[in-house]
Structure 1
Amino acid sequence: MDIRPVTPRYAVSPQIAPEDVAAIKEAGFTRIICNRPDAENPPEYQAAAVEAAAQEAGIDFVTLPLTYPTMTPERIAEHMAAIEDAPGPVLAYCASGTRCTTVWALGRATAGDAPDELIAAAAKAGYDLNQLRPRLDELSAG
């Protein structure tokens, strides 16, 4: 498991397994967001399997599968709401963590955060979002 903090309340990770959930709870996360579509995974790693482990551990679980074409303003808002209404720190996962970082950056830019700060936070977590700069600039200005 490779948890990468983006902010004090939001971290991302490549694919997690049901057996990772206990360590996720121990690390203090109160909600897990699955951004990975089930079609990308075998059954033992699909959302239902991870959700069952999360429920058993007492962690909230939100399924919000995303692909780049489905990162609509509505889906971005859903993701941000899942972070904002969580009772504590949130871990989002996908294949590599890039989609989770991208959707977070798009949401924060929509809220007016500075693109330079978003790109720097992503880079500190190991994700290069420089290619998103034009979109982040557009969203933060809007």
Structure 2
Amino acid sequence: MINLPFKRQLDDLIIYGQLNAEHINALAATGIKTLIFNRPAAEEPNQPLTSELQKKAEALGMKWIHQPVASGQVTQEQGVEFGRLYAAAEKPVVAFCRSGARCGCLWALSQRQQQSGNELVNKMKQAGFDMPDFFKRLLAE
């Protein structure tokens, strides 16, 4: 059994921390159809090569979407784009980044028109996210 990092679930979106090729094999075996990667390539020297992860996912028949977002700098526009990408993606979908936090932020921002700030904060807390500054942003918008 492969240990997948930091799994969280928000509605029907599954979020993980940084994945490697072995993790992608395991996810493909469970029927995941699309991967959304929200980390810039080479953000850290030791992270897996984005091109290698993409090759692995596509070789397994998965759709690969790369939406690089700088850590701690998630914008409303990026959230809207994430929502568009997610809506068009074949389900089930996994989004991942270093820890899963920016994927959670992107998801929440993509849901601002459908759910209240309180609902989004509660869902994020239930999923294990602890981001008081981001929660304030959701509640203020």
**Normalized against structure 1, the TM-score is what?**
0.84
* 1:118 Cα deviation from its structure 2 partner: 1.2
Partner-residue secondary structure (3-state), 1:82: helix
- Figure out how many residues of one structure are paired with residues of the other and give that number: 136
* Structure 1 segments of 4+ aligned residues over 4 angstroms from their partners: none
* 1:115 Cα deviation from its structure 2 partner: 1.6
* 1:60 Cα deviation from its structure 2 partner: 0.5
Match of 1:55 in 2: 58
* 1:51 Cα deviation from its structure 2 partner: 0.6
**Normalized against structure 2, the TM-score is what?**
0.85
Partner AA of 1:103 in structure 2? L
Which ranges of structure 1 fall in alignment gaps of 5 or more residues?
none
* 1:42 Cα deviation from its structure 2 partner: 4.1
Partner-residue secondary structure (3-state), 1:45: coil
Partner AA of 1:127 in structure 2? F
Deviations 1:55-101, CA, capped at 9 Å, x for gaps? 011011100111133x2333222211111111212111111001100
Instruction: Please provide the CA RMSD for this pair.
Output: 1.9
The one of 5, 8, 30 equivalent to 1:4 is: 8
Structure 2 residue 101 is matched with structure 1 residue 98? yes
Deviations 1:26-72, CA, capped at 9 Å, x for gaps? 22321101111112244771221111110011011100111133x23
Partner AA of 2:56 in structure 1? A
